[in-house]
């Protein structure tokens, strides 16, 4: 899974911004480096983020 | 092991890069060859080869499927690594608007010590994103030639070819621990990003995956798409195809019919049967009447209008977003959201739909999607014929057919999900930015698909019409009709003659639906026959691809499922429609 996340540009230390999440456990869309990436809820749940002090957004 | 390279005139050019960076666009620019390029990851699943004259020498250009890494994880990566092993000059196509992530593969390629150049594609979009890249500096950092390009419009292609001569192996070595630090460093040195206010496209982009607004937009887009397909298709038939056949073609075949004396074997073969003393283009079933009229006047207009809409949806980048929206629903069918792409392609023709299944990762997904494609997704050729046949009854005639197919899609998906072993991985997809489709590539793609249809369909249609004539002339139909009579009449409520269309359906579905016309069926019978024809088996072309993609074991399973489903659903519909007294009288 790490490799798949790595391939879409998500890796430790990256700043991500959540764009949306679909109802009923649907996929989550986030913004990484200005790019939209969608992932299933199960994957998203396992990504740990730390909320950044500046504005709504998070980082891991 | 590496092949010897002659830097001045390579004999192989490999186009490599992440998915959806425009490799196929570069490929068709370089070679003039026809490949489909779209705006979603995974358009190229096999690989395409083309020829290019480079300094008076023929050079093989290979469009390698998009990959994120050289560590083989999926089939696409296996193919790519294998290609790389065979040697050649690599053109690493890079999305200039997403440099950091793309450089991961670039670095891996550099460490392989193959001669390469980098094409900074989508250069035209960088400014809009507020991205400024110092090409000189990037070239210095990577140690190989870097050329800004815009493949879709053709800018930078000449420069790219010039650079191929200067291609050289990279010297950059790295260790995987510090890879991203290295990339980060390079990006920091060569790229400057200015903050831009979100463009209209970006705002819209967010709205289309919004949990509440997104589905509304999706419904609107699908409704508009449907209407455009219908209106353009209808208009082309009403104003172009029908008048042409009426005014120019009908007199010709009438004269021929009179010359042949209005009867006899040759007349039956070329012109077909006269309906009420006259030639009926749709129902006479001769090689010069129905075999031309069905594909060219009834099907082609709808195929054309469908592909206009599909090409626009593909190139705009909407499809991956639709995939995200329907992900939840699709998981109930044992698939994930991106499976919507093969299913939508299948609405045009099942063959490209089946080929697109390769983007799905597991056997379970591929099996479910292929079976669903075979059972519940009518191709445009068939849809056009069904509309032509049942359209006169309005929604009351069409809804039972397409409604049943849709319900069947959901029900069968849920059943298959339960009983197919394996896992359905979660969706993980890179959503490309919206792009306004470039009209030249749109026209080209449309033309390729139309040409493909005419080339693939016409021979089968002729064969189908020929076969049906032979079957009738040799009375094979009577024998088979009597054999299958219990099934046809008792279960499906169809006359025994309906066995003929079902046989033709193995060959081609549009001719099969057309063959229902001369039988004079009631509305109920037409509805049942149309559904059964869609469900019971794929056409010959689809069958061949399916067999190749699934293997004979899974294909056998899928076939059994189809036949049983067709019989069950046909019988059920017959019972329900009879009970409801739908279309009892003609």
Is residue B129 less than 8 Å (CB to CB) from chain A?
yes
The nearest CA of chain B is from the CA of A18 a distance in Å of 10
- Per the document, the length of chain A is 60
pLDDT of B154-198, one tens digit each? 888 989 988 988 888 877 777 777 778 888 888 888 888 887 777
Q: What is the pLDDT of residue A33?
A: 78
Is B187 within 8 Å of chain A by CB? no
Q: Domain limits at A19?
A: 2-59
Domain segments of chain B: what residues? 12-193, 213-579
Q: Does B336 touch chain A (CB under 8 A)?
A: yes
The minimum CA-CA distance between A48 and chain B, rounded to whole Å, is 17
Residues 6+ apart with CB under 8 A from B11: B57, B58, B59, B60, B88
pLDDT at B269: 87
pLDDT at B247 over 70: yes
Q: In CATH, what number is assigned to the domain containing residue A46?
A: 2.30.30.90
Best of A11, A36, A41, A46 to substitute, by most chain B Cβ atoms within 10 angstroms, is A36
Q: Taking CB atoms and an 8 Å limit, are B325 and A22 in contact across chains?
A: yes
Q: Which residue has the higher pLDDT, B74 or B410?
A: B410
By DSSP bridging, strand A28-32 and strand A15-21 are: antiparallel
Cβ contact, residue pair A35, B426, below 8 Å: no
Q: How far apart are CA A9 and CA B109, in angstroms?
A: 18
CA distance A35 to chain B (A): 7
* pLDDT over threshold 60, residue B104: yes
Question: Is A38 in contact with B320 (Cβ distance < 8 A)?
Answer: yes
**Residue contact A36–B431, C-beta within 8 A:** yes
Q: Tell me whether residues A20 and B431 touch, CB distance under 8 A.
A: no
pLDDT, mean of residues B532-557 = 90
Question: Nearest to residue B257, comparing CAs of B246, B245, B269?
Answer: B269
Are A3 and B71 an interchain contact pair (Cβ–Cβ within 8 Å)?
A: yes
Average pLDDT of A15-44? 86
Q: For residue B4, what pLDDT band results from cuts at 50, 70 and 90?
A: very low
Q: Least CB-CB distance to A7: which of B68, B337, B425? A: B68
Q: Would you state the CATH architecture of domain B12-193?
A: 3-Layer(aba) Sandwich (3.40)
Q: At B60, is the pLDDT very low, low, confident or very high (cuts 50, 70, 90)? A: confident
Please, are residues B268 and B288 in contact by the beta-carbon 8 Å criterion? no
What is residue B398's predicted lDDT score, i.e. its pLDDT? 93
Return d(Cα B515, Cα B322) in angstroms, integer. 37
CA distance B356 to B336: 14
Q: How many domains does chain A have?
A: 1
Query: How far apart are the CA of B429 and the nearest CA of chain A, in angstroms?
Result: 5
What's the average model confidence in pLDDT over B132-137? 91
Instruction: State mean pLDDT over B346-362.
Output: 87
For the four alpha carbons of B290, B295, B301 and B306, in that order, the dihedral sign comes to: positive
**A38–B325: do the CB atoms touch at under 8 Å?**
no
What is the distance between the alpha carbons of residues B373 and B349, in angstroms, rounded to a whole number?
10
Residue from the list B69, B101, B427 with its beta carbon closest to the beta carbon of A27: B427
User: Is ipTM strictly over 0.85?
Assistant: yes
Residue B37: predicted pLDDT: 67
Q: What is the pLDDT of residues B453-505, one digit of tens each?
A: 888 888 889 999 998 888 888 888 889 888 988 888 889 999 988 998 998 89
Q: What's the pLDDT score for residue B59?
A: 85
DSSP code string of B347-377: HH-HHHHHHHGGGS-SHHHHHHHHHHHHHH-
Q: Chain B contact for A33, CB < 8 A?
A: yes
What span, in angstroms and rounded, lies between the C-alpha atoms of B351 and B332?
25
Q: Does A55 touch chain B (CB under 8 A)?
A: no
Out of B100, B209, B426, the one facing A42 most closely (by C-beta) is B426
Q: Can you tell me the mean pLDDT for B437-451?
A: 86
């Amino acid at each position: 899974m790490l490799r798949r996340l790595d391939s879409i540009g998500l890796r430790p230390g990256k700043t991500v911004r959540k764009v949306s999440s679909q109802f009923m456990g649907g996929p989550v869309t986030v913004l990484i480096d200005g790019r939209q990436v969608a992932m299933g809820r199960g994957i998203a749940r396992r990504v740990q983020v730390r909320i950044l002090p500046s504005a709504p957004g998070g980082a891991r | 092991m590496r092949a010897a390279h002659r830097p001045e005139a390579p004999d192989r050019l490999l186009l490599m890069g992440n998915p959806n960076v425009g490799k196929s666009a570069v490929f068709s620019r370089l070679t003039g060859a026809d490949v489909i390029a779209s705006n979603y990851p995974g358009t190229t699943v096999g690989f395409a080869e083309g020829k290019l004259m480079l300094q008076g020498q023929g050079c093989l250009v290979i469009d390698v499927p998009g990959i994120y890494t050289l560590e083989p994880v999926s089939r696409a990566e296996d193919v790519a690594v294998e290609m790389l092993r065979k040697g050649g000059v690599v053109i690493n196509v890079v999305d200039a608007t997403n440099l950091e992530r793309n450089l991961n593969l670039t670095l891996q390629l550099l460490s392989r010590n193959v001669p390469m150049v980098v094409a900074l594609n989508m250069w035209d979009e960088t400014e809009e994103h507020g991205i400024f890249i110092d090409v000189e500096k990037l070239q210095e950092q990577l140690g190989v030639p870097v050329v800004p390009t815009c493949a879709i419009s053709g800018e930078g292609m000449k420069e790219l070819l010039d650079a191929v001569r200067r291609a050289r192996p990279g010297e950059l070595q790295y260790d995987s621990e510090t890879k991203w630090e290295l990339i980060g460093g390079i990006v920091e040195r060569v790229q400057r990003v200015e903050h831009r206010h979100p463009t209209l496209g970006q705002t819209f982009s967010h709205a289309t995956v919004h949990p509440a607004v997104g589905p509304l937009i999706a419904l609107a887009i699908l409704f508009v798409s449907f209407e455009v397909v219908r209106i353009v298709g209808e208009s082309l038939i009403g104003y172009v195809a029908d008048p042409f056949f009426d005014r120019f073609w009908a007199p010709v075949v009438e004269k021929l019919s009179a010359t042949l004396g209005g009867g006899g074997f040759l007349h039956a073969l070329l012109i077909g049967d006269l309906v009420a003393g006259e030639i009926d283009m749709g129902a006479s079933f001769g090689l010069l009447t129905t075999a031309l009229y069905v594909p060219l006047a009834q099907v082609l207009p709808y195929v054309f209008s469908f592909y206009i809409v599909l090409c626009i949806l593909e190139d705009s980048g909407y499809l991956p977003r639709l995939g995200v929206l329907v992900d939840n629903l699709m998981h109930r069918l044992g698939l994930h959201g991106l499976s919507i792409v093969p299913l939508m392609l299948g609405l045009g023709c099942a063959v490209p739909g089946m080929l697109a299944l390769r983007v799905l990762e597991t056997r379970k997904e591929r099996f479910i999607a292929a079976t669903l494609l075979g059972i519940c997704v009518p191709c445009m050729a068939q849809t056009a014929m069904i509309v032509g046949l049942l359209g006169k009854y309005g929604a009351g005639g069409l809804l039972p057919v397409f409604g049943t197919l849709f319900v069947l899609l959901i029900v069968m998906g849920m059943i298959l999900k339960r009983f197919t072993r394996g896992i359905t991985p979660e969706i993980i997809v890179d959503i490309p930015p919206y792009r306004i489709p470039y009209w030249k590539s749109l026209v080209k793609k449309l033309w390729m698909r139309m040409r493909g249809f005419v080339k693939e369909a016409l021979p089968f249609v002729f064969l189908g019409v020929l076969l049906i004539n032979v079957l009738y002339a040799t009375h094979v139909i009577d024998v088979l009709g009597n054999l299958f009579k219990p099934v046809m009449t008792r279960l499906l409520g169809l006359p025994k003659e309906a066995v003929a269309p079902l046989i033709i359906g193995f060959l081609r579905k549009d001719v099969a639906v057309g063959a229902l016309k001369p039988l004079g069926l009631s509305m109920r019978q037409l509805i049942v026959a149309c559904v059964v024809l869609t469900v019971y088996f794929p056409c010959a072309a689809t069958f061949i691809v399916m067999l190749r993609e699934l293997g004979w074991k899974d294909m056998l399973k899928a076939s059994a499922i189809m036949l049983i489903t067709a019989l069950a659903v046909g019988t059920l519909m017959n019972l329900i429609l009879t009970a409801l007294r739908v279309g009892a009288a003609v």
